[in-house]
Amino acid sequence: MGNVSITPVGDLLVLMSKFLDKTNNPLGLTKECYEWEDEHIFPRRGPSILYTSCFYQMMPYMKAFAKALKLLEGIEGIPVPIKFILYLSSKINLHDFIPFFFLTKEELGRLKNTVPKILKNIAMIIKQYDPQVAYLYEDEPYSGAILYDLGFEEAFKEYARKVANYFKSLGIKRIYTIDPHTYHALKYLYPKYVDNFDFEVLHYLEILSEKPDLIKTRDSELEYVIHDSCILARYANMSETIRKALDTMKVRYKEPIKAGRRTRCCGGPIESISPSATNILSESRMKMLTEVSRNVLVMCPICYINLMSHENKFGARVFDIAELL
């Protein structure tokens, strides 16, 4: 795979724990997580909730953070980039400047415009399905999914119990998730690590499959190639569910060589450990996808930002399914 460097995972845990303790977010975000919902159309409490886990909202910051790590990988005198970022985080609020410093004007503008659109489109689908659904706004905690993805099992277990107890204290019974990692955490991991985790957990694409009348039929101007989320395809077995929704929307799409349960990873899970390795994996996957179509359709914020990095090289454009709703 060429020359790659590895970030010590212990340093990552220290950094994320610092942010989680302070803000309930692994990147230290606060108002950035809920300011997308500026119309205040949701009640703040209820037995069912729209749960974003701030995952899509973190897209600009995750991409900028990864670019910062990749840049620091190649600078002599900074052998452990995470330690340097940890030091900076003790002096300043990193999220206040990292996107502006490490993303191009075009990248930042696009993500700042796309993320609210994705969230609002999904939110409207869920609200049509469940008119009384609530949203926790500034009280919404992060799921802890990244702790598990990076192998911090004990830290994840402790954090998951904290989140589950909080949800129980609010009388929540049903949780609507919108991204693969949060869905996987609550649907499959929380029941494993949290006693009596009896919440109903749904992904918005399951709703679209169950209630196709919620989908607005559209004439697809573009033809897309599908990049399946590893989690939704392999753990949740949702490949056909996703295609059923696309068929109802009359979206034209093709399949890459590796699709469904055989999909290829975008490299995202290891990005904070080795950005250079992630770059190799995501470029390889983008090459495979663009051999089918230049319009790449994803359903995961991490896949979006990793494949987006190679758009210019392959003359392509990445779209999230929710952008088409």
Q: What is the mean pLDDT of residues 297-312?
A: 96
pLDDT, residue 135, reads: 98
Across the chain, mean pLDDT equals 87
Residue 309 · residue 279 · CB < 8 Å: yes
Phi-psi region of 144 (alpha: psi -120 to 50; beta: other; left: phi over 0): left
**CATH 3.40.50.11810: which residues of the chain?**
216-324
| Cβ-contact 261, 234 below 8 angstroms | yes
Residue 78 is predicted with a pLDDT of 46
> Is the pLDDT assigned to residue 85 strictly greater than 80?
no
Task: Note the CATH architecture for domain 216-324.
Answer: 3-Layer(aba) Sandwich (3.40)
What distance in Å separates the CA atoms of residue 148 and residue 152, rounded to the nearest whole number?
5
pLDDT-above-90 percentage for the chain: 62
Neighbouring residues of 241: CB distance < 8 A, sequence distance ≥ 6: 205, 206, 208, 209
pLDDT tens, residue by residue, 167-199:
999 999 999 999 999 999 999 999 999 999 999
Report residue 210's pLDDT band, with 50, 70 and 90 as the boundaries: confident
Q: What is the mean pLDDT of residues 108-119?
A: 94
Q: Where are the alpha helices (DSSP H) in the chain?
A: 9-23, 59-73, 81-89, 98-102, 105-129, 145-149, 153-169, 180-184, 190-193, 204-210, 230, 239-249, 275-290, 301-308, 311-314
pLDDT of residue 152: 87
- Six-digit token string for 293: 């179509």
| Residue 1 banded pLDDT, cuts 50, 70, 90 | very low
| Cα–Cα distance for residue pair 118/122, rounded to 1 Å | 6
High-pLDDT (> 70) share of the chain, % = 84
Q: How confident is the model at residue 81 (pLDDT cuts 50, 70, 90)?
A: low
> So what's the pLDDT on residue 77?
46
Q: Is the pTM of this model over 0.75?
A: yes
The pLDDT of residue 269: 72
Tell me which amino acid residue 296 is: V
Q: What is the DSSP string of 170-225?
A: TT--EEEE-SHHHHHIIIIIHHHHSTT---EEEEHHHHHHH-GGGSPP---SSEEE
Distance, in Å, from the CA atom of 46 to the CA atom of 114, rounded to the nearest integer, reads 28
Q: pLDDT for 229-274, tens place per residue?
A: 999 999 999 999 999 989 888 899 999 999 999 999 998 777 767 7
Residue 76 pLDDT exceeds 90? no
**In degrees to the nearest 10, what's the CA dihedral of 315, 320, 322, 325?**
20
Quote the pLDDT of residue 293. Answer: 97
> Considering only 75-84, 118-127, 182-191, 205-214, which range has the smallest mean pLDDT?
75-84
